[in-house]
Structure 1
């Protein structure tokens, strides 16, 4: 009996130790989402260039880059469920809208599913949403925050002109009600250009909030808004 009791205790300990790494690897609950839209003219106007998806050249409009869970300290969870693979059938009713609003511009040209798969598996699996909810939430936010209309209403147009960083930030802040993050990249001549705009969203992925932290945007006072 003593041997059986000791064996049972040893077995319990071994099982606990085997489970412990799984428990410790679970991410803590995130604090907010970054919702990120990118300007295709800036993505393409670099030394790397771009490739259009199978549906052809996207419209001259901001497109979705991603909906990313984040922590208040600037860090973020990723790849939270390696068994939850992207399944296009889960979002078949959203596909036409996603091809328009969430196209891939990376090379070599392909359909957009590689891009969507990456976004789901790295970020979406940490969102506490299922696949359909995750992609639908991003599309809803894109409709809610029409960046091109906001900027053009403020006299800021994708015409290869230079605009002040402050004017771009103020235009988005006035429309959204909260301060955005603005990220720049550089064209082949090293001119800094408007690349991505970040806004923050609560953990339900529905409501814009003030950002607890913003990304470093690497933007000078004047930045180009390239045509596309």
Structure 2
């Protein structure tokens, strides 16, 4: 895909997002899940089993500056290894289906990941939904494959009856990502990448609340923001990710009062057909 057609595709996604997702002040309640992909046990069901319908969606976003710290091995598929094209924005971890009681379904009835189903989205997935590892990721069938395959089989298959197929799982997730631009909101409030500055986590949460009318969940690795999660009702209207306002930061790795957004390392050159940084900023 050429750079011009790639940009046209991105703009088309943005138009679709604006039409499909309506920002309102609706909110609900939930108990925030733990980091799903670090937990191997199956909660609420398993591969091929019928599971009760989920209650809400959680869009999990990763900060590359934290994810790339400590990376020693580079490969083509590692998002940390793209030189000047290493992501400079929050990227997608996944769109997860959760229950209000703090558990979640996983590995539901559905087909295995088929890369051909998302060929039209490949450029956007490479850029905004990268893996930060050179290792293959476990899937729901006892093997290993791509990061995208893991997310579809573990979480996307459980999104019925809202999302019925693989293509729409990835398209809807990209639309939410573009419409709820966390990087832009934080930058506009002065929360920019820095290896020296520390920011009040309450201020970061407040900036997202004011912009999107939802309370996010923030997950840290020591004092560095690792993930920010945004939650949505099944009609994709925003809702709070927490049960009570005094539990705004809930995870197995709780954040301190002041947190950092580490600068993003560019480990090696590559991926030369990506959008230039100025074009990316304009598009977002």
**Same fold, TM-score > 0.5, yes or no:** yes
Matched, 1:203 2:234: yes
Distance change in 2, residues 1:138/1:171 (3 Å): same
Matched, 1:194 2:225: yes
Deviation >6 Å, runs of 4+: none
Give the number of equivalent residue pairs. 196
CA distance in 1, matches of 2:185, 2:72: 27
Residues 131-210 of structure 1: pairs in structure 2 closer than 5 A? 131-160=166-195, 161-186=197-222, 192-204=223-235, 206-210=236-240
Q: 29, 37, 45: which is aligned to 2:53?
A: 29
CA distance in 1, matches of 2:136, 2:98: 30
Q: Is the 8 A contact 2:218 2:227 kept in 1?
A: yes
Give the equivalent residue in structure 1 for 2:130: 103
Q: Is the 8 A contact 1:77 1:126 kept in 2?
A: yes
Q: Give the CA deviation at 1:179.
A: 0.6
In the TM superposition, what whole-angstrom CA distance separates every residue of 1:50-99 from its partner, at most 9, and x where no partner exists? 64544852321100000000000110000002x51000111111111111
Q: 3-state DSSP class of the match of 1:41?
A: helix
Q: Give the CA deviation at 1:148.
A: 1.1
Q: 3-state DSSP class of the match of 2:93?
A: strand
Give the equivalent residue in structure 2 for 1:65: 93
Q: 111, 117, 123: which is aligned to 2:149?
A: 117
Q: Comparing 143-152 with 71-80, which one deviates more in the overlay?
A: 143-152
Gap regions ≥5 residues in structure 1: 1-21, 187-191
Distance change in 2, residues 1:28/1:212 (3 Å): farther
Gap regions ≥5 residues in structure 2: 1-45, 138-144, 265-284
Q: 3-state DSSP class of the match of 1:184?
A: strand
**Larger proportion of strand:** 1
CA distance in 1, matches of 2:155, 2:167: 14
Distance change in 2, residues 1:52/1:159 (3 Å): farther
What is the root-mean-square deviation in Å for CA atoms of aligned residues?
A: 2.4
